[in-house]
């Protein structure tokens, strides 16, 4: 009966929104590439020889198509070729379309990636104190932007940035490939992203974002390269993607220590479905560790995780504040994974020494169900904070085939509590308390099934 009420409520909300004439999300409207106006990057002097710098043609093309914003917007068409460029900005009501064989290539000279202020929820760059390099393709305070194509490619040529990081030659934090700030109604689809200097797709302080049918790859020894990073965002949909990176394939964040606490913008209402993930040195799916604005109402379904150091990781620390709660992860296949599930309260990097260790995070109401793993070395390592234990961790129908079948313990737990059923190998005693959280597990799990149907 409760589920029926929820379904009826959702239907009623949708009907009322339609009746009031509220705008639909951009991916519910006209298909990509169907703008009433279109221009080609070559009309602005661009040369796709892989040698000519095309930053100015991209900038001029975007400036030109602004005039169509009140006429349904415009498409900027990028034909087959190798289009070398520095950083450039997009505009609202724009479709950036990369034809098959089109490759947008990030210039190797750091001077072609301008310096911008750090994000207010971080207080500094990710790699170094102070400002950071602007990403290759940027959106700021935009509405209705589509980046799509016929499997075109965006290549950040990140190897030079990785070398600078490892040799301590960076002057400012590395850029990402695509970043949207304070934007809404964003679609990124049908493209391949290669060799990002840092993160590939980074929506931050944004809402109504869909990333669909993209491939993301970096070298597996590239340092600290992430795939998709929703950061202080709401209503994000990630579907049908393949991601192979060194650090974290998908990572949910919401700010760093006092900066994230003060900014106070959570990550919420995130839907991740049907993705193939590989993370050679980090976690395929990560929460945090920068989560000071809070993370909640996350629904993850149908993951394939393989050849990864960790499958699913929840990371935080003293001084973070914030919360991670109301998370449901279901229908996961793991293969060749070292650690299946990780919770840690000791991910202790901080932007500066002014963090307040009394700001303790809350980790609660995490449900993981219907998981199968083969060639798993460690089923789970769960380590909370002694004065702020992690609670209501719920495990149901997990079956891991372990690499070493003679070990007596595949789980390690401290400062955590929760409930489990039908879990093999049998988890820690801390996760086998039927009175601690069974009702929360089942009610949250039922809501998830309705919400993402």
Q: pLDDT tens-digit profile of 313-350? A: 999 999 999 999 999 999 999 999 999 999 999 987 88
Q: How confident is the model at residue 408 (pLDDT cuts 50, 70, 90)?
A: low
Token pair recorded at residue 64: 């030109």
pLDDT of 106 strictly over 90: yes
In whole angstroms, give the CA distance from residue 345 to residue 289. Answer: 9
Give the pLDDT of residue 409.
74
Give domain status of residue 371, yes or no. yes
pLDDT of 143 strictly over 80: yes
Q: How confident is the model at residue 19 (pLDDT cuts 50, 70, 90)?
A: very low
pLDDT of 445 strictly over 80: no
Q: Are 308 and 335 in contact (CB under 8 A)?
A: no
Q: How confident is the model at residue 448 (pLDDT cuts 50, 70, 90)?
A: very low
Give the pLDDT of residue 5.
38
In whole angstroms, give the CA distance from residue 143 to residue 203. Answer: 13
Give the domain extent around 396.
29-451
In whole angstroms, give the CA distance from residue 285 to residue 139. Answer: 25
pLDDT of 114 strictly over 90: yes
Give the pLDDT of residue 433.
77
Q: Are 215 and 193 in contact (CB under 8 A)?
A: yes
Supply the CATH number for residue 125's domain.
Answer: 2.160.20.10
Give the pLDDT of residue 1.
43
Give domain status of residue 20, yes or no. no
In whole angstroms, give the CA distance from residue 92 to residue 133. Answer: 22
Give domain status of residue 12, yes or no. no
Give the pLDDT of residue 12.
41
- Name the domain count of the chain: 1
Give domain status of residue 15, yes or no. no
Q: How confident is the model at residue 55 (pLDDT cuts 50, 70, 90)?
A: very high
pLDDT of 447 strictly over 70: no
**Which of 29-43, 74-88, 330-344 is the least confident region?**
29-43
Give the pLDDT of residue 435.
65
Give the pLDDT of residue 249.
98
Strand partners, 74: 37, 94
Give domain status of residue 16, yes or no. no
User: Mean pLDDT over residues 433-442, rounded?
Assistant: 62
pLDDT of 452 strictly over 60: no
Cα-to-chain-centroid distance, residue 147: 17
In whole angstroms, give the CA distance from residue 102 to residue 84. Answer: 11
Give domain status of residue 17, yes or no. no
**Mean pLDDT of all residues belonging to the chain:** 90
From residue 269, alpha-carbon distances to 130, 328, 372 in Å are 31, 11, 26
Give domain status of residue 1, yes or no. no
This prediction's pTM: 0.91
Per-residue pLDDT of 236-288, as tens digits, reads: 999 999 999 999 999 999 999 999 999 999 999 999 999 999 999 999 999 99
Q: How confident is the model at residue 6 (pLDDT cuts 50, 70, 90)?
A: very low
Give domain status of residue 21, yes or no. no
């Amino acid at each position: 009966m409760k589920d029926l009420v929820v379904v009826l409520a959702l239907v009623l909300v949708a009907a009322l929104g339609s009746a009031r004439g509220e705008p639909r999300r951009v991916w519910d409207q006209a298909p990509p590439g169907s703008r009433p106006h279109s221009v080609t990057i070559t009309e602005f002097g661009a040369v796709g020889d892989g040698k000519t710098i095309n930053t100015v043609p991209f900038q001029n093309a975007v400036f030109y198509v602004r005039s169509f914003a009140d006429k349904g917007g415009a498409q900027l068409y990028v034909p087959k070729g190798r289009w070398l460029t520095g950083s450039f900005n997009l505009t609202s009501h724009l479709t950036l379309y990369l034809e098959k064989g089109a490759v947008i290539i990030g210039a190797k000279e750091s001077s072609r990636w301008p310096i911008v202020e750090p994000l207010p929820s971080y207080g500094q760059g990710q790699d170094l104190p102070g400002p950071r390099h602007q990403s290759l393709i940027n959106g700021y305070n935009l509405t209705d932007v589509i980046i799509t194509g016929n499997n075109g490619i965006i290549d950040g040529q990140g190897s030079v940035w990785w070398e600078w990081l490892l040799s301590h030659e960076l002057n400012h934090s590395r850029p990402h490939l695509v970043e949207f700030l304070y934007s809404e109604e964003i679609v990124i689809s049908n493209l391949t992203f290669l060799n990002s200097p840092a993160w590939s797709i980074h929506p931050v302080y944004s809402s109504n974002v869909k990333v669909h049918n993209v491939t993301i790859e970096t070298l597996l020894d590239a340092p600290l390269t992430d795939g998709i990073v929703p950061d202080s965002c709401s209503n994000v949909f990630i579907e049908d993607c393949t991601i192979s990176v060194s650090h974290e394939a998908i990572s949910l964040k919401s700010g760093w220590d006092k900066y994230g606490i003060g900014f106070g913008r959570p990550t919420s209402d995130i839907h991740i479905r049907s993705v193939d993930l590989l993370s050679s040195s980090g976690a395929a799916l990560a929460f945090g560790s920068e989560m000071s604005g809070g993370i909640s109402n996350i629904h993850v379904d149908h993951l394939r995780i393989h050849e990864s150091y960790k499958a699913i990781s929840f990371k935080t620390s003293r001084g973070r504040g914030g919360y991670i709660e109301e998370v449901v992860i279901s229908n996961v296949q793991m293969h060749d994974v070292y650690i299946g599930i990780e919770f840690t309260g000791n991910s202790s990097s901080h932007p500066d020494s002014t963090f307040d260790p009394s700001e303790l995070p809350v980790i609660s109401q995490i449900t993981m169900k219907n998981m199968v793993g083969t060639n798993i070395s460690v089923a789970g390592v769960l380590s909370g904070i002694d004065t702020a234990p992690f609670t209501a961790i719920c495990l149901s129908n997990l079956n891991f085939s372990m690499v070493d079948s003679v070990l007596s313990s595949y789980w390690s737990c401290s400062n955590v509590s929760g409930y489990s059923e039908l879990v093999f190998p049998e988890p820690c005693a801390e996760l086998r308390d039927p009175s601690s959280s069974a009702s929360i597990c089942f009610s949250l799990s039922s809501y998830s099934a309705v919400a993402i149907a």
